[in-house]
Amino acid sequence: MQGRSRIQDLRERRELPRLLPLQQEDVRPRSGFRFFSRRYAKCSISLLLILCALVLLAQLYSPEAIEHLYGDMRVYAPTEHSKLPSLFVKYSEDEQRTSKENLLRWKEQGLQERYLRLPARRQRSGWGPFMQELILNTYLANRIDRIFVLDNFTWHEDGWMDYVDHRQGQYSMPVQIPVSAVIRAVTPAGVDPQMIRAVGKDLWDEACPRGRMVHGLEAPPVVGRHLQASMPLKEDVSDSRSQCLELYEFPSTSNDMGSTLLDIWPTLSNSSILTHFGWSPLVELAFDMNRELIAPVTDLEPYLSSLPFTNSSDRYRPIPGLLSLHVPRGIYQDYCRGLAPGSQGFTGFNAFPSFPDVFDPAKLAHLGEAARTAVYHRRCYPIIQEIVRRVDIVRHTEAGKGLRDVYIMTNAPTPWVLELKTALRRMGGWASVSSTRDLVLSREQRYVKQAVEMLVAQRAQVFIGNGFSTMSGQVGMLRVANGLLVESTRHW
Ligand SMILES: *[C@@H]1O[C@H](CO)[C@@H](O)[C@H](O)[C@H]1NC(C)=O
Ligand SMILES: *[C@@H]1O[C@H](CO)[C@@H](O)[C@H](O)[C@H]1NC(C)=O
Ligand SMILES: *[C@@H]1O[C@H](CO)[C@@H](O)[C@H](O)[C@H]1NC(C)=O
């Protein structure tokens, strides 16, 4: 009351002439009607916008609209038949087309059009033994200057792969895969340096309806210990008059005592087969996709698949800090058990005498049955504690300095892999621990994942392999061929 009378007083004295009009202005907006109308307007505009957005979204995502935009929906839904694997048809077609083009180029260059075919063995074999045969066979073709005829990689059960049997009807998988989907076997001649002169088998069928067959066992007595190495020395086989030469029932090499392969090492390692060995774009793409998972990079580096091919040692440089472990399980349980009675040594290229962890069965001769079995078990089928112990030893060697990432190549069941990963993490000092089970792979890459892992292992700063696995042997071979220190290739 007092305040009001004071204002009245002031007004009367005309001391505050503008005060009242101002007050009135201030009050007016708070009048009920105007306040409500603003809020109402805001609300209705928002509602209208939301409605519009909803209508628009419904329009965009209606099946009719998608069909209208993209035509046949199936093209964009490859998972519709997710159970059916890729048959690699495009790769086969590309292999054939490139083979044809290369033949023309070689003719222009005046190279001899003579073929060598060694039918792939049809027994159960995984990628490791298949690749070993392939390397040796292409080596033979190279030495007698013949075009190598590529068969598809036809796979069967192996300790490595997630094998799926057709006959059980549960799943299906491609029975054959063109070799060029795994390695750089058929690349355009004259573009990149070539690993080998090779063509797909379909071309052989055209060019050589009646090839000259030579039975492997009828081949003349061999000089030296290794058939593929010594074959070129025999006139009978390197006979230049027969355009098409096929060797069948050729003795297999995968079960040989390792040292026999080493006889050919000096020439093999210098041949283009190893100096220009490369993995297929499909495999390299899978590597790029999983690069961060395998060993996180500190500096940005170009994607492998984006680089032009130069040579093997340039392309597959070591990845610093990466430790790769090869721990095959599955059928290896039985396989490893069967090694002790036969006093089996390391297979294939695992037996390089310069590798640090040589294995000499003769030294076990004085041991009892049980002790020998235990040694084989530890070296072929190590348990988690043994793996951790070995990794710890390797970490403290000169070659193992600065290791910070672990990648485990394995076909073991996921729970076991998790246990192993936990045990490794508990050691401390690792920035990342990952395994085969973590890989992100496309529908086709699933079937070439062993090759992806070989690429990883080949580039690891240190690799610990299984001395009785041809696949580990191939990895060791590629590492030595690319000039990595032998001390960096270890075995269990
Ligand atoms: C290789 O496999 C493909 C399917 O992936 C097939 O079309 C092709 O005929 C096969 N080639 C040979 C030589 O068996
Ligand atoms: C083969 O390679 C070795 C190194 O691995 C080298 O010392 C030798 O000179 C090479 N031989 C030929 C014939 O190129
Ligand atoms: C591989 O390629 C690189 C780059 O082109 C070159 O510097 C190196 O000498 C090559 N190495 C061999 C063994 O050819």
The answer on 93 and 44 residing in a single domain is no
The answer on 307 and 167 residing in a single domain is no
Among candidate residues 148, 92, 154, 146, the one with its CA nearest the CA of residue 121 = 154
Q: Which atom of ligand 1 is nearest to the CA of 202?
A: 13
Among candidate residues 258, 243, 439, the one with its CA nearest the CA of residue 353 = 258
* Boundary-marking domain end, from 230, 254, 278: 254
Pairing of strands 460-465, 319-327: parallel
Please give the angle made by the CA atoms of 334, 336 and 339, to the nearest 5 degrees.
110
The encoded tokens of residue 75 equal 């093209």
* Boundary-marking domain end, from 254, 281, 300: 254
DSSP 348: G
The encoded tokens of residue 425 equal 């993490």
Q: State pLDDT tens for residues 427-443.
A: 999 999 999 999 999 88
Q: Ligand 1 pocket test: which of 152, 186, 206 has the largest number of ligand atoms within 8 Å of its C-beta? A: 152
State whether the beta carbon of 202 lies less than 6 angstroms from ligand 1.
yes
CA distance to 64, 65, 74, 120, 176, per residue, from 71 (Å): 10, 10, 9, 44, 33
State whether the beta carbon of 269 lies less than 6 angstroms from ligand 2.
yes
Q: Ligand 3 pocket test: which of 270, 314, 480 has the largest number of ligand atoms within 8 Å of its C-beta? A: 314
CA 313 to ligand 2 centroid distance, Å? 15
Question: d(Cα 378, Cα 462) in Å, to the nearest integer?
Answer: 20
Which own/partner pairs from 284-289 qualify as long-range (CB within 8 Å, at least 24 positions apart)? 284/455, 285/445, 286/439, 286/441, 286/442, 286/445, 286/448, 286/449, 286/452, 287/452, 287/455, 287/456, 289/440, 289/441
pLDDT of residue 220: 40
Question: Domain holding 106: CATH number?
Answer: 3.40.50
DSSP 15: S
The residue-averaged pLDDT of 55-60 equals: 70
- Dihedral angle of Cα 464, 469, 470, 472, to the nearest 10 degrees: -10
The answer on 301 and 427 residing in a single domain is yes
**End-to-end alpha carbon distance in the chain:** 99
The answer on 234 and 330 residing in a single domain is no
- Residue 304 pLDDT > 80: yes
The answer on 51 and 107 residing in a single domain is no
- Residue 23 pLDDT > 50: no
Q: Ligand 1 pocket test: which of 88, 91, 92 has the largest number of ligand atoms within 8 Å of its C-beta? A: 92
Please give the angle made by the CA atoms of 392, 394 and 395, to the nearest 5 degrees.
65
CA 267 to ligand 2 centroid distance, Å? 7
The answer on 313 and 250 residing in a single domain is no
Which residue has a Cα nearest atom 1 of ligand 2?
270
Query: Which neighbouring-strand residues pair with 147?
Result: 115
The answer on 164 and 47 residing in a single domain is no
* Boundary-marking domain end, from 225, 254, 283: 254
* Entry field: residues in the chain: 492
Q: State pLDDT tens for residues 125-158.
A: 678 888 888 888 888 888 878 899 998 887 654 4
Which residue has a Cα nearest atom 9 of ligand 3?
314
The answer to the question of residue 276 being in a domain is no
Question: Domain holding 360: CATH number?
Answer: 3.40.50.11350
Which residue has a Cα nearest atom 12 of ligand 1?
152
Q: Give the confidence band of 486 by pLDDT, cuts at 50, 70, 90.
A: very high
- Residue 88 pLDDT > 80: yes
- Provide the 3-class DSSP secondary structure of residue 145: coil
- pTM score over 0.85: no
- Provide the 3-class DSSP secondary structure of residue 98: helix
The answer on 188 and 124 residing in a single domain is yes
Which residue has a Cα nearest atom 14 of ligand 1?
152
The answer on 350 and 210 residing in a single domain is no
Q: Which domain holds residue 446?
A: 291-491
Among candidate residues 432, 386, 429, the one with its CA nearest the CA of residue 408 = 432
pLDDT of residue 324: 97
State whether the beta carbon of 259 lies less than 6 angstroms from ligand 2.
no
State whether the beta carbon of 270 lies less than 6 angstroms from ligand 2.
yes
DSSP 110: T
The encoded tokens of residue 333 equal 């349980």
For a pLDDT cut of 70, what percent of the chain falls above it?
73
Question: d(Cα 408, Cα 327) in Å, to the nearest integer?
Answer: 7
CA 313 to ligand 3 centroid distance, Å? 7
For the chain, the domain total comes to 3
Q: Which atom of ligand 2 is nearest to the CA of 270?
A: 1
Could you tell me the sign of the dihedral formed by the alpha carbons of 203, 205, 209, 210, in that order?
A: positive
The answer on 402 and 355 residing in a single domain is yes
Q: Give the confidence band of 303 by pLDDT, cuts at 50, 70, 90.
A: very high
Question: d(Cα 453, Cα 294) in Å, to the nearest integer?
Answer: 10
CA 305 to ligand 3 centroid distance, Å? 18
